[in-house]
Amino acid sequence: MSDIKKIKEEFLNKLQGDLSLSEVNQFKSDLFGKNGIISLEFKKIGQIQESERKKFASDLNEIKNILQNQIDFKINKIEELEINEKLNREKVDVTLPSRPYLKGKIHPVSQTIDEISSIFSEIGFSVEEGPDVENEYNNFTALNTPDNHPARDMHDTFYLDDNKQKLLRTHTSPVQIRTMLKDKPPFKIIAPGRTYRSDSDQTHAPMFHQVEGLHIDKNINMGHLKGCLNYFIKEFFEVDKIKMRFRPSHFPFTEPSAEVDIGYEIKNGKIIIGEGDKWLEILGCGMVHPNVLNNVNVDSKIYQGYAFGIGIDRLAMLKYGINDLRAFFECDYRWLNHFGFDPLDVPSNYRGLSR
């Protein structure tokens, strides 16, 4: 034991010196590492005579604790000195002139959501929200999507469990299901939010934004749908006239279903929405399928209605001349400074949405 006491004194003397953190950590490794001096002494306990074993172990533990405490104290002291030195180096002179600050901008997607909400609120729609993580029933089954539908494929949907019961919602239509399950008709809502699909290129992103609209009441027909969309498109693009056509399409949750195109022309390299001999697909819509109403306990013999889905990012790109969807998510302040909006420029219909 005299040898180990000498080692204790030796290391205690070393720890009194002006050491760096790496040097102290090296001492710690030399003493308590896998093949450290103290670690090897503990391995000898079984070889000590039984009459001396208890005292040997007690003395060894005492020395171990002394050295360990001294090392911890030294490490804390070194770290405290380093922090104080760093604070002194980085001290701010409050008497210096203030630095110019950069004014924040509202992202085009956030601005577009506010514009959409403002327009639809004028004609009686309320805003509903739901979770990004959905269950399979709300996202597919309740919306009349058959089990073998391509939209359920792993290539399109981000599933979160092996049983495919939890997923990142592929559209905001589940918000319609949640709303109809918790309330009674009539319903007149929009549901903006993030959606997720396994797709990524110049015009697609794995996370994007959509707004779904739903109007359920007695005696609702396609004429109401056309009038609603005609009003929205004119107000959003801030034009007096709009050229619009419905093309037959198919969605599991609507029947009949349609894609909506709007007329446009190109002047001086810019897309002008309104009149023109070219057509641009803008959204999908249709009359809500009776099966969807029955799935949420709404009597389809009494109530009917329409639904539509619009890509918010796509609308922002068209209106504000943004040609690459990926730029929305790159967090480039220069881009945001150019395309962003003043925080106080809250959209309102009476004075123009984007003026």
Distance CA 259, CA 284 (A): 4
Position 297 confidence tier, pLDDT thresholds 50, 70, 90: very high
Position 284 confidence tier, pLDDT thresholds 50, 70, 90: very high
Position 136 confidence tier, pLDDT thresholds 50, 70, 90: very high
Helix (H, G, I), strand (E, B) or coil at 219: coil
Distance CA 178, CA 191 (A): 11
Helix (H, G, I), strand (E, B) or coil at 302: coil
Query: Going by CATH, does the domain composed of 108-346 fall within 3.30.930.10?
Result: yes
Average model confidence (pLDDT) across the chain: 86
Region 305-331 average pLDDT: 89
pLDDT tens by residue, 58-76: 877 888 888 888 888 888 8
In this structure, are residues 280 and 261 in contact, taking their beta carbons and an 8 Å threshold?
yes
* Per-domain residue ranges of the chain: 2-89, 108-346
Helix (H, G, I), strand (E, B) or coil at 277: coil
Predicted local confidence at residue 1, as pLDDT: 46
Q: At what angle do helices 21-32 and 2-14 cross, to 10 degrees?
A: 170
Helix (H, G, I), strand (E, B) or coil at 17: coil
Distance CA 349, CA 305 (A): 26
pLDDT tens by residue, 44-59: 787 787 777 788 788 7
Residue with tokens 């037959």: 248
Predicted local confidence at residue 230, as pLDDT: 94
Q: Which residues pair with 193 in a beta bridge?
A: 210
pLDDT tens by residue, 93-118: 778 777 666 678 899 999 999 999 99
